[in-house]
Each structure stands twice: as structure tokens, then as C-alpha cells.
Structure 1
Amino acid sequence: MDWSRIPSLSALRAFDALARHGSLSAAARDLNVTHAAIAQHLRALEAHFAETLATRDGQAMRLTETGYELAEALGEGFDRIAEGVASILDRNALRPITVSLTPTFAEVWLMPRMRQFWDRHPDVEIRLLPSILLSDLRRDGIDLAIRFGTGEWPGYEVEPLSVSRFVVVAAPGYTKVKSLDDLGSLGAYDWYFSSAANEQRVWGRAIGVDFDKVGAMDMANNGMVLSAVRSGLGLSIQSRTLVEPDLASGQLVTLHEGDPEGLGYYIVTRPGVLTPGARAFRAWLRSMAQTQT
């Protein structure tokens, strides 16, 4: 396409409005510009084509034969553009929002609150992909991720999501440890983790417990871990939200709590514009996190 032969798109848009409304004033109101601006665009187009495109007929403007020809072409072109834009907007508005997140976050924090999101946004479909693996948002077609760590993921837009804290818990009387050094000296048979909960190991390393050296017992899921800990078989790192009822009843006690600086959950998105559904979900996550802090 030779763009040098095509007039200013602003002028073409002004002429399209003039052709549809039949007057300079009406076209100006439609485009929220001045009467003089529409007249100036008309003169620029007539100079470009070296032909008269419209003549004054009282308060109205009458198109010439060339003006009708241009108006018909512009109408078809702008209508096609509008259809294409609407198609993309509708597709993005209706397609499911794909969210990558850790299994622990999904189980402990998100799923108990999802009804509140769908009550506000019943037309937004959310597709959750729980995994301990670090997904490539662009390659895997992911709109938004919720990751646990220090927030250092280059190439992405990252913002902290302040949610529940983690704690070290055990059954009453299981151990008499009173410091982080004591925790670090415990053996592999003392620690119970879920293989689907990477946060437990990340948080533990951040407080100074080297699990590569100490070791731990891996269970298939976090429910089994909690059952073992409640039975007095060992201790574990858990979201405080999840074990709050056990702490309140005295079935479990905390041995250490307090998140290391910078460590926590983060909302991670690709640079650029999010779909309307993804924006709504991100805004809801922010608001829910604020009510929990």
C-alpha cells in the first residue's frame, strides 16, 4: 500500500461524518471537534483530490458525485474496521481467562473465595492451572499467574499480593524447639511436606532451614501432611489461614511465624494490555487481599 497517496485519516474520518450527517455542525458534534475543524479537513481533502467534494445547500452540505464516491468507499472501509475491532473485543471478552497458580494457593486461598468473584462477574469464565512448575505465560497462553517467591521474574509485570502468612506448626508437645537454629537442627523425619506445595520449601529456606541438607518426608498431598502433623508424627510449614482452626482448638501450635522480607505471593502478567476479564480478575484479587490483611 502506498500511504503517500492516502490523505490524513483524520480528514477522511471527518468527511465520513460529514457525509453521514449532512452538515458541518452535526459532523463536528459527532467527533467532538469544532465546526471550523471539519471545514478545514474538507478543504484539505478537496486540495488532495483537486476536486470539489461537497457544496453548501442552505445550512446543509450536498455531496458532489466524487463526494458520494468517496463517502461510499469510506463507509465500507470504516464499517469493516468496526467489524474487525468488535470481533476482537468480543472474542477477548468471552474467552476463558487462563490463570496459572500454585496448588496451595488454589486450595487454601482462592477456591474458598471464588464464589464472590463469580457473584460479581458471572460472565467471566476462569480456567485454573495449578502447578508447582514455572509456566511461560506467552508460550502457554496464560493471562495471569500467581507465583510465590521474591518477585524477581524479569520480563514480566509483577506486583505483590499480600495474603495469608506461613507458620511452622506441630502437635502440642512434639518438640521443645524455641529458635530457628533449633528448627534447622531437626532431622528429615521431623519435617512433612506435600510434593505439590513448593511454597513450604521456599519459605523454609528463606528462614534458614536447609532442606537439601536436612531432608524431609514428602507426602502425596497436603491433607496427608496435616493428618500426620496432627497425629504428632512431625512438623510442617503451612499457610496460617489453613491451620487457623487447629491453632484455635489447640490441636496444633506454632513454632515459628513471620514472613521473610520480600517473600510472598505475587500477581504476574505479561507486559501489555490485559483482556477485560483478566483486568476484572486482577482487580478482584487486589481487593480481596486488602480485606484479608
Structure 2
Amino acid sequence: MIAPRRFLPSVSSLLALEAVDRLGTATAAAEDLALTHSAISRQLKTLEAQIGVSLFRREGKGLALTPAGLDYAASVRDYLQDLARSSMKIRAAGEKSSLNIGVLPAFGTHWLLPRLKSFAVQYPDITVNLSTRLAPFDFSRDKLDAAIHFGTRDWPGVEYLDLGQENIIPACAPELLGPGALRVPDLLTMPLLHLESRPGAWEDWFERNGHPADRLRGMLFDQFTHMVEAAVHGFGVALLPEFIARVEFERGRLTPAVAGRTPIDSRYFCVWPHLRPPSRPLQRLLDWLGQIVAQQPVHPDR
């Protein structure tokens, strides 16, 4: 239910409030919004009268927001951003239905996007928008229909579609390897590259391969993209998901540092809110993902 109209200020007055808060003066706000100083003043007076709370106080020739005004301006900024995103979403989709999906950068680039073309061909009336996320988020706040989750079934309040387990492979530039094949212990003498979102990944890999190690150090990256490039340029050995490693092996930019691949406990899931039944477009995407995974799992057996 929408609130009574008397509680809904005009967008113009909210833009004036946001601009004064952001720029510090009514004069700067007027210039930013291509309005006169008096027009900004009228918008602010109308807004205060409608809200019934003092949002500004005079400080010399300028205006300063009251504590209530500062809180309200922060809420208004979020509202304006949401309104702008919604407008951009419908403008981009046109007459089509649209889906907003949160994706992990590497998974989106190397696994999802190469396959998403077939979904677009099969369902030309649905536009899929991808939003890159590195950290967990809240479906109640973020305007997303679904998201790609890596880990276990530890996300409260969501439904899961299992996309498969992950295998990892140590990879490095071909010139970083000496003559002859390397063994697992040999990697302890080489520079190791680390990912912020996967602390302890190397320690876990060595333990799973029969050579426990701890306190392993090396260059640290926040995304696989940068870590891959560092490995390509010879900075060290990167521990990569198989779907990334295979691409780089085929390109000849990287090579396996040791033979074999190692399965880990974490899996990839598509998740969506438990209390929000999938829309028709989302159900189409989930059905399609299920078919894709059945044919081409995240880690194909090779």
C-alpha cells in the first residue's frame, strides 16, 4: 500500500534537499540543478512545511542541515538512486521482462556469460542484467532477483539451485617451471599468489594433497582477474578454479604447476529469496541453468 499523498514530497524538492546536502550551499545546488537560488529556497520551504520538521538552520548567509535533515537527506539519496536505477532498468529492457542477477566476477566472466547467449536466444523477451558482487548482500535491501553464491548452504532465507562443486588447479606461467615435472612439495619453494576472499586456500590445498603447511605468504589480490594476470607475468603460482584455469591453459598463457586437480568442499549455487516465489522470468532462468548444469557442469570430468 502506498502512503497518503500528503506524505509524498515532489521529486523536485527531494532533489533540492539532496543537492544542498551534497554541495553545502543553496547557490551551489541551484547551479547543479540548473535552477535559480529562489527556486531552491521555495522547494526547501515547501518540503519543510510538508514534513513538519525543521530540516535546515541559517548559518550566516548559508544553510546547514539539522540532524533530522541529515538523516532525511541520506534516506532521500537512497530513494533517488533506487528510482534512477529502476528507470534505467526499464529503459534498457524496453518492452521485455528483466532480471537482475548478482554474480561473482570470475564466475560471471568465465562460466555464466559464455553460456548466457543461448538463454537470450531461447527467451528473447527476457533481459538479464548482471551486477558484480564480491561480498554477501541482503535480498531485502538489494534490488536483485537472484545471485550466484559460492560456499555451502549457509545463506539464511534463500532457496538453492546447485550448480556444482569446484575443482582447483595450481597454475603458473610456463617459463616459471624448470625442467621436469614438479611435485607438490616443490610448490612450497615457489612464490604463491593469494585471494582475499579465500583465506587459507593454499594451506587447505597442501593438506588435501598430503603435505600440510601453514603461514603461507605472498602477493594478495581481491579478484581472480588480477591474480591470473600476475601469474601470467611470472609473479608466482595461482590457485585457480578449473573453469578459469582451462581457459588460460588453452590460450597457452598458463600451465599446470603440478599434475591433477583438487576438489574442495565449497560449491556454486544460484540463490533466490525463500519468501518470494520466482517470477516467470526467474523460473525460466532457473530451468535453463538446471539444463545447462546437467549438460555442462561447473567442473566437467576431463
Measured against the shorter chain, the TM-score band is 0.5 to 0.7
1:139: how far off?
A: 1.8
Unaligned runs of 5+ residues in structure 2 are 1-94, 298-302
Q: Distance in 1 between matches of 2:290 and 2:200?
A: 23
What does 1:168-207 correspond to in 2, within 5 Å? 168-172=170-174, 174=177, 178-179=183-184, 185=188, 190-193=191-194, 198=197, 200-201=198-199, 203-204=201-202, 206-207=204-205
- 1:191 is matched by which residue type in structure 2? L
Q: Distance in 1 between matches of 2:284 and 2:155?
A: 23
The structure whose Rg is larger is 1
Q: Distance in 2 between matches of 1:263 and 1:231?
A: 29
Unaligned runs of 5+ residues in structure 1 are 1-92
Pick from 277, 281, 287: which aligns with 2:285?
Answer: 281
Q: Which residue of 1 aligns with 2:219?
A: 217
Q: Distance in 2 between matches of 1:267 and 1:240?
A: 19
Q: Which residue of 1 aligns with 2:75?
A: none
Q: Distance in 1 between matches of 2:285 and 2:248?
A: 31
Residue 277 to residue 211, structure 1, CA distance change in 2 (3 Å): farther
Structure number having the greater helix percentage: 1
Q: Distance in 1 between matches of 2:214 and 2:102?
A: 27
1:271: how far off?
A: 1.1
- 1:274 is matched by which residue type in structure 2? P
- Contact (CA 8 Å) 2:159, 2:274: kept in 1 or not? yes
Q: Which residue of 1 aligns with 2:117?
A: 115
1:163: how far off?
A: 6.4
How many corresponding residue pairs?
193
Q: Tell me the TM-score normalized by structure 1.
A: 0.55
1:186: how far off?
A: 5.7
Q: Distance in 1 between matches of 2:166 and 2:142?
A: 28
Q: Which residue of 2 aligns with 1:51?
A: none
What does 1:85-124 correspond to in 2, within 5 Å? 95-124=97-126
Q: Distance in 2 between matches of 1:250 and 1:102?
A: 23
Q: Which residue of 1 aligns with 2:231?
A: 229
Residue 149 to residue 182, structure 1, CA distance change in 2 (3 Å): farther
Q: Percent identity?
A: 20
Q: Distance in 2 between matches of 1:94 and 1:216?
A: 47
